[in-house]
Every structure is written in C-alpha cells, then in structure tokens.
Structure 1
C-alpha cells in the first residue's frame, strides 16, 4: 500500500487524561519529505506548545499535519490553536480529529485544512466522518513568507 516515510511519538503527554501512565513521551521532532514537500507532524496536545511546533517549522516546513483526539467541549480551542499555528508559521495546517465517543468524552471531529493566512480551506462538519480532499497551492507559503519574514526576523538569541 505504500512506504513508511515517517514515524513520530507524541512529545507532550496530556496529564488530565493520564497519558503519562500508559505512554512514554517522544523525544524527537517529526520533519520529513512528502512527495518533495517538507512537512512535519504533531499529535493532539502538542499543538498547545507553539515553541515545539516552531522548532520544526523553522526547518522550511510548508505543511503541518496534526492528528488528534480533541474533545467536543474544547473544539473551539482546537480551531483557534490550529489557525494560530498556521498564521504564526505561515504554512498550511492539515488537521484530523476523532469522531465518536469514549468512556468519558465525546469527540466531534471538525477536521480542517487551514492556509498560511489562517483561512479555513476545508472543514468537516460536526460529527462528520469521511475522507475529505482539498486543493492547496504550496506557492502560497512562499508568497506569504515573502511578505512578512517572521522566520528571518526571529531573535533566537533572546529565546530560552
């Protein structure tokens, strides 16, 4: 069915769901080439750590993939954080979220594709399962990065 091109272990474990009792945190980033495009991936809670995402995005990443099991009560935060990661990194964000229910939580989907300016290109409806497609123009990443050079203007000498 294809070749494995990348693996990633979630770096930030979510203590409120006791993930640390069942999983070990990853310790490496996830930058890879997908059909000639530099991409990266993170898992769920990782999107709450912009410094972790930026560490990867600063390597020329144009598309960030996010897989998640984000609960329905916080779906608005999911959308805000994804848009913020797209805007601050001037990249496309392709995010898929679980649909269904667990013993204590409901997961309502809201999978999304967001462009480098934070515009929603595609959004699955609430509780909608399926395979979705969206056309993206990767030249838009270069255009946006050329207008506001956030990667060049970073002051890494001040960041801890």
Structure 2
C-alpha cells in the first residue's frame, strides 16, 4: 500500500480559509494513495493559542467538510491531522479526524496528553480519555497526536486494541528535533507497527516547527523522511510485515507487566 505525509506549512500570515483550500487541493492530488496524513492543528496553528477560540469548530465543521470531500475525490483514507474542536458544552479539544475513501468520518480521537505543563494546551483544552483504533481496508489504524509520543503506555494500549499502523500528526518544535526522531523510531520498534508521523513546518505562535515527517517500519527503520521544507513524503509499505515481524521476534507475546492486575499482598 502507498502512504503519504503532507508536511504543510502553518504560517500566521495565511488566512485559515486559504490554508484549508490549499491543503484540500494537495489531498485531492493524492489519488492512488491508500492513506494520507496531515499535521496537528494545521488550520489554527498548534502554538497560536490566541487563534484557537476563533478557529474552533464542531466535528462536522468546515475542516471536516473540506477534508471529507478531498478524501472522496482522491479515493484515499485520510487522517486529516487534528482540529480545534469545540464541544457542545464549549470545551475545546485537540481532535484528530480519520476519513475513509468515501469521505465518511470513521473515527476521531481527542488528544489525551496536553502539552504546556501549566500553560497553553494544558490549560486551554480538555483532555481525551479513549484509546482509539479504526479498522481500515488495509489494517487497523491507531490514533495519537504529537506530545502523546512521550507516553509509551498509550501506544501499548493501541496495540492491545489491535493497531497495526499508528498515525501521529504533530507540531513538534524544531528545537527538540532529536527527540522527535528518536521517539518516532522507538514507538514503531517497541510496538512493532508502522508509524506515520506528520509534522508541521513553518513558524506560528513564535515557535519554529521541526518538519522531518517520517514513515517508520516495525523494525524501527526509517522508510522515508522529509527535511524542513513544505513537501509530500511518500512510501510503499507492506502491512504483512507487521505479523511477520511479530512472529519472528515475539517480544509482545513475552510481556509480563501490564497484562493483568498485580496480585495484592
């Protein structure tokens, strides 16, 4: 199967509607791909906190509408990165959206781990609680977002829920690029999954983005990687590799901790 990561620039000067139109056009051009992944909060900017309230939208808002149409046009599964979702009670969430080839929204995930410690996302957004996997026609897709990469227990939960491929939209800072490159390989290797990590590029909210979107196989081998420019990264992956590698090196079978509650003493 063919996968593509659309490493899109998020710049403060570009109107949200124009960026939405521009990215939708790129998705429509990916006919022949099986899965396309976009970055985190690419409409508003993951670091542009002052834009979140005005750019927040419901799950069926303008971004979902545009991405649904683009996925249907291209005939591809589309992980539309994430949007600032406004729930009916007014709470904001960093929410990832996954559409199928017909443009139907097949799953959404509210980011569990909110970055910022005592500022930004950690204080302005609510946190999700559900581990989300979605069966696709090529395998089971697990959903995570950016800062989630630092929490291996979520990724273990995703494989326990059947994930064979995990998509991670991100807006990772350029200053910590070495962490990004290490963590993406580590999460793929330890969970024996394909990991598709799509990071924004450009600068917004005063934060320079790291780019270097990457496709990593279940051995932890980088199959494709972007640089810092706006670009599309494409790779061919064989989903049968997941079961072959898990059989050849059955580390997941040999787990001891985390399978059953610890015995009380």
Q: Distance in 2 between matches of 1:27 and 1:157?
A: 20
> Which contiguous aligned blocks of 4+ residues in structure 1 show a shift greater than 6 angstroms?
none
Q: Distance in 2 between matches of 1:158 and 1:72?
A: 40
- Residue 150 of structure 1 is matched in structure 2 by 251
2:167 to 48, 55, 65: 65
What is the CA-CA distance between 1:44 and the residue it aligns to? 0.6
Q: Distance in 2 between matches of 1:150 and 1:157?
A: 17
5+ residue gaps in structure 1? none
Of the two, which has the highest radius of gyration?
A: 2
- Residue 6 of structure 1 is matched in structure 2 by 107
- Residue 97 of structure 1 is matched in structure 2 by 199
Matched, 1:106 2:212: no
More strand by share: 2
1:121-147 CA distance string (max 9 Å, x none):
01011x221222210011111111001
2:125 to 23, 26, 34: 23
Which structure exhibits the higher relative contact order, with contacts defined as CA atoms closer than 8 Å and separated by 6 or more residues?
2
Does the CA-based 8 Å contact 2:175-2:210 persist in structure 1? no
Stretch deviating more after TM superposition (64-73 or 31-40): 31-40
SS in structure 1 of the partner of residue 108 of structure 2 = coil
1:72-123 CA distance string (max 9 Å, x none):
0101101100100010001100010010112321002100000000110010
Using structure 1 for the length normalisation, give the TM-score: 0.92
Matches within 5 A, 1:23-62: 23-62=125-164
SS in structure 2 of the partner of residue 134 of structure 1 = strand
Does the CA-based 8 Å contact 2:132-2:158 persist in structure 1? yes
Using structure 2 for the length normalisation, give the TM-score: 0.57
Stretch deviating more after TM superposition (46-55 or 145-154): 145-154
Q: Distance in 1 between matches of 2:215 and 2:111?
A: 21
Q: Distance in 2 between matches of 1:157 and 1:22?
A: 35
1:129 to 217, 230, 233: 230
Q: Distance in 2 between matches of 1:6 and 1:109?
A: 25
Q: What's the RMSD between the two structures over aligned residues?
A: 1.4
Does the CA-based 8 Å contact 1:44-1:69 persist in structure 2? yes
